Structures are given as C-alpha cells and as structure tokens.
Amino acid sequence: MHRLISRSPLLFVLSVLLVGTSMPIHNGKAAAVLTPPSSHVSCSTFLQDYQDWATQTIRGENAYVKFTLASNQYNGIVSSTEGILDYAAPNASTPAALVGVGSQYFNDRQYRLPSSDGIFTRGPYPFNPDETDQLGVQVVAQTATVVLTMLSWGGGLIIIENPTCAQGVLYGFGIAPHNSLFVLNLEKRVNPAVK
C-alpha cells in the first residue's frame, strides 16, 4: 500500500531524493509516493541482523537490542512489554540468541488517580504500573523462534514458532497456554548507560 506525502515543497524534494522521480499527480500537483519497507523477509535473516549487531562494540560501548512486544488475546486482554536484549553465545545445548527480561503491562490491570480535590478519583486506566509481570524473552535467529518465559507465573513457556517478518516487525501466534497474537519490534542501540 502506498501513502501520499504532504504537498509541501520541501517534503516533495526530499521524496524525490528518497523514492525517485516517478511522481503521480494528485489534485493537479505532483505528489510523492512512499513504498513501505520490503514486505516479507526471512525471519532468520531479519533476526540475524539484530543478533550480529548485539555482538559488536561501538566506540567502546557494547551494542544491544531494545525490544517492544505487544500481545492480543481472544478474550480482549492486551499486554505491552519493553526491555533490553543482549547477545548470548552458543553452547553445547543452545544456539546463539538474544536474551533479556522486560516488565509486562496488561490492559485488564487497572488503576485510578486521585483528582485535584483529593476526594474523587479519575479512571480507571489500563496498564497499571504497580501490577506488572516479568517476562523473559529469548530470540533465536537460527530457528526464527521466540521463546517467552512467564517469570512471574512459575516459568511457563510461550513459543512463537514460524513467525512472519514484514514491515520491520516479527509477528506470530504463541503456542500455549493462550493462543495470543504477538508483535515484536527490535531496535539497535548503543551505550548501556541509557538502557
């Protein structure tokens, strides 16, 4: 799907530089069309790029990967998790992976805020910051698998096998205990001081 860019002269020039000179006409004026990033790519290739990144030292600082993971269940429960993934070297029993832990927020865990008069409360609001779970995340490029460990619930596993990688994200359904849809975004970062 293509998206029209504003007809401002500066954006038009930038668009020509970014996407070429073939411009459609919209309302009598040239309009640039942005093509989304490459549609589907191999998830192993997609994940390997981030895994390779996390093995580097840049300007004396270790590289790492920031992740954002969203889930949606059939029953309307939505979660959001953010955290840091570091490189874990392979050993005799496991392949190389990106591993980390994040705080998982849920829309059904609600909270209220006091009003300015102190008598009433505002809300309820979803994603209570005082009622999060800890979620372990392991991303294995070699097998294109994501393993989620429910650390707050005794270590149960959710495995995302055979995901799809497109538009810069990985998405797929987790197997057991809930068939949730998961969407994973990864970002390359440097400088652990700002984790």
Sequential pLDDT tens for the chain (195 residues): 333 333 333 333 333 333 333 334 444 444 434 344 556 789 999 999 999 999 998 888 889 999 999 999 988 999 999 999 999 999 999 999 999 999 999 999 998 888 888 777 888 889 999 999 999 999 999 999 999 999 999 999 999 989 999 999 999 999 866 689 999 999 999 975 544
Tell me, rounded to whole angstroms, the distance of Cα 28 from its chain centroid: 39
For 104, the token pair is 């998982």
Helix/strand/coil for 56: coil
Please list the alpha-helical segments (H only) found in 54-134.
none
Instruction: Specify the residue for token string 């619930």.
Output: 153
**Which pLDDT does position 195 carry in this prediction?**
47
Q: Can you give the pLDDT at residue 38?
A: 53
Q: What is the pTM of this model?
A: 0.74
Short-list 136, 82, 132, CA closest to 107? 132
Q: Determine the pLDDT at residue 39.
A: 65
The reported pLDDT for the residue numbered 57 is 85
Nearest by Cα to 182 from 145, 127, 128? 145
Question: Using one digit for the tens of pLDDT, what is the confidence trace for 88-132?
Answer: 999 999 999 999 999 999 999 998 888 888 777 888 889 999 999
3-state secondary structure of 139: strand
110-149: b or e for each residue (b if 16 or more CB lie within 10 Å)? eeeeeeeeeeeeeeeeebbeeebbebbbbbbbeebbbbbb
CATH 2.40.128 corresponds to the domain 38-194: yes
